[in-house]
Structure 1
Amino acid sequence: MPDFPNIILFAIPFFILAMLLELYVTTKQHIKTYESKDALSSIAMGLGNVFLGFASKALVLLIFFWIYDNFRLFTVPVAWWSFVLIFFIDDFSYYWFHRVSHECRLFWASHVVHHSSEHYNLSTALRQTWSGGFYTFIFWLWLPLLGFHPAMILLQMSISLLYQFWIHTEAIDKMPKWFEAVFNTPSHHRVHHGSNPIYLDRNHAGILIIWDRMFGTFQPELKEEKVVYGLVKNIKTYNPIKIAFIEWVNMFNDAFTGKKSIKNRILYLIKPPGWKHDGSGKVSDDLRKEWMDLKQIEK
């Protein structure tokens, strides 16, 4: 078992110092990004994620080791080149996990937590799910199957999470063009957190923005379209319990109450957020098309 450190725990003091620095910088820039109740809710969600992470990581390690010990196709050594390889494979896995988390309501039920703030700052990065760690790991199951050691996988997943902390800020406008072309940046990720129709379900990148460019989900931040943070329909609560589970309650109410066919009940779990069995709902593609049509009429 490789002895890799838990870099997320070591990074907590850095998170605190970075938030204080961001607060100072944005105040100097006259940008109001922090609201005390919202920030405290985000921090509470982050602490809950860390505590529950001990249980979810134990489950994930157990399953990863079961696959690695019994079904791996190769044995990938712990070497410099294998870390380069797992960097790209992990980031590719993250892209599809993140994209599906916006396009399938069962995964959105846990991921919506991260989008529930109407503010955008480094504390928003800490607003993490309490439930997703117990099932979203399925997008990484092919890594132990290929022969990557489970400890390597968890380390790279932590590196990806750590990278994504700094991009949750309005204090940085644009990075150099070459950096914006390859990597996820604050500008790209501001788009991802936007509730504007043009920004919905775009820029799912973890570290590399190349996947969004390759698979047609990239959207640059537009000067003429200021990002409005939050959800299409905001939840309007600072209660961590409600933030963590409100979408689970809403999803199960939609799926298992009222008169619906079994097929439609199942579809409420796998269709995108906003879908309704009677056709009255609108998913992000519908909202984006309406927005584009309106802009075309205005032109």
Structure 2
Amino acid sequence: MKDFNPVQLATPIFIVTIILEIVLARLGKVKANYEARDTAVSLGMGLFSGAAGLLTAGLVVASTLWVYEHRLFEIPMTAIWAWAAIFLLEDLTYYWFHRLSHERRFWWAAHVNHHTSQHYNLSTALRQTWTGGIAGTWALWLPLAFLGFPPAMIAIQKGISLVYQYWIHTEAIRRMPKWFEAVFNTPSHHRVHHARNPRYLDSNYAGILIIWDRLFGTFQPELDKEPCRYGTVKNLATFNILRVAFHEWIGMAADVVRHPRHALGYIFGRPGWSHDGSRDTSVTLKATWRQQQARAAPEPEAGT
């Protein structure tokens, strides 16, 4: 059980289903937009993501084992209740990791590459970070080891979550049954997360359970009247894989060099933050959109 690796086992399925989605799209059976260079970048990011993770793997493992040695409780991997608990707690951890990765530039720099594709298909799911380990977001999972969940158990559940999130990167599935949409993350919910429409920004951070977004006020349903437009607010317009992987780190460093007095803001402020307010953040974009919506709304008739 300790050697169980969900991602490794699912990798052949990833490849087969991407090919299947491409074929079915070409035959007109499903909705899926693929662009050869864009897909190549996604596959390349996924291929080298694992290799990049090796750079910090020793630190991650050593830190997790050290914390586990000082655990509060003894939680057995064989207990069903323990798996139910790790499922909920790991998924909640993922929600806050994902939200942090969108709301603070330092961690956005490691995550943004996942959002750089202007297409939304199964290959987009493989557009994974090369710098997540360096950004240190793995530390958010250390409290689970401190509680007493074995490191192998945490790793397995993280793998299950990653595999689950693969299938929701598609336009081929429109909606799941209402009860499923109410509880779980779905292609519809995650399309909203990948959209750059102002209405949809900063929404649906869920891993497996969409209930966290509903609970913490970040849920936004997909609306038929407003199709999702994918990518980042300012798209890169390049298929250079190195730029995709590192552009935000480079931009952040350049801002710090130009404005050292405001370094903390440029590093830990919201993506797009600037000391003089000359740039837009997701907050200002949504505020502008709301004002436009209010102005466009029809005025009530006299006497009503």
**The TM-score by the shorter chain falls in which range?**
over 0.9
Rounded to whole Å, the distance in 2 between the matches of 1:136 and 1:112 is 14
Instruction: Tell me which residue corresponds to 1:226.
Output: 227
Rounded to whole Å, the distance in 1 between the matches of 2:18 and 2:108 is 27
- Further displaced range: 38-47 or 130-139: 130-139
- Further displaced range: 18-27 or 196-205: 18-27
Structure 2 counterparts to residues 168-247 of structure 1, below 5 A: 168-247=169-248
User: Given the superposition, is the C-alpha separation of residues 9 and 54 from structure 1 closer, same or farther in structure 2, using an over 3 Å criterion?
Assistant: farther
TM-score by length of 1: 0.95
State the percentage of identical aligned residues.
Answer: 51
Instruction: Tell me which residue corresponds to 1:118.
Output: 118
Instruction: Tell me which residue corresponds to 1:23.
Output: 22
Rounded to whole Å, the distance in 1 between the matches of 2:80 and 2:296 is 54
SS at match of 2:225: coil
Preserved CA contact (<8 Å) 1:190 1:221: yes
TM-score by length of 2: 0.94
1:281 is aligned, of 279, 284, 288, to 279
- Further displaced range: 286-295 or 155-164: 286-295
Q: Please report how far the alpha carbon of residue 53 of structure 1 lies from its aligned counterpart in structure 2 after TM superposition.
A: 2.7
Equivalent residues, number: 294
Letter in 1 for 2:208: I
Rounded to whole Å, the distance in 1 between the matches of 2:221 and 2:295 is 22
Letter in 2 for 1:75: E
Per-residue CA deviations over 1:44-66 (Å, capped at 9, x if unaligned) read 00001122233433321111001
Structure 2 counterparts to residues 1-299 of structure 1, below 5 A: 3-27=2-26, 28-29=28-29, 31-69=31-69, 71-78=70-77, 79-134=79-134, 135-258=136-259, 260-261=260-261, 264-299=262-297
Letter in 1 for 2:281: V
Q: Please report how far the alpha carbon of residue 39 of structure 1 lies from its aligned counterpart in structure 2 after TM superposition.
A: 0.2
Q: Please report how far the alpha carbon of residue 133 of structure 1 lies from its aligned counterpart in structure 2 after TM superposition.
A: 2.6
SS at match of 2:166: coil
**Structure 1 portions without partners, runs of 5+:** none
SS at match of 1:141: helix
Runs of 4+ more than 4 Å apart = none
Preserved CA contact (<8 Å) 1:205 1:211: yes
Rounded to whole Å, the distance in 1 between the matches of 2:103 and 2:63 is 25
Preserved CA contact (<8 Å) 1:42 1:124: yes
**Structure 2 portions without partners, runs of 5+:** 298-304
User: Given the superposition, is the C-alpha separation of residues 30 and 157 from structure 1 closer, same or farther in structure 2, using an over 3 Å criterion?
Assistant: closer
Q: Please report how far the alpha carbon of residue 4 of structure 1 lies from its aligned counterpart in structure 2 after TM superposition.
A: 2.6
Rounded to whole Å, the distance in 1 between the matches of 2:21 and 2:53 is 27
Cα RMSD for the two superposed structures: 1.3
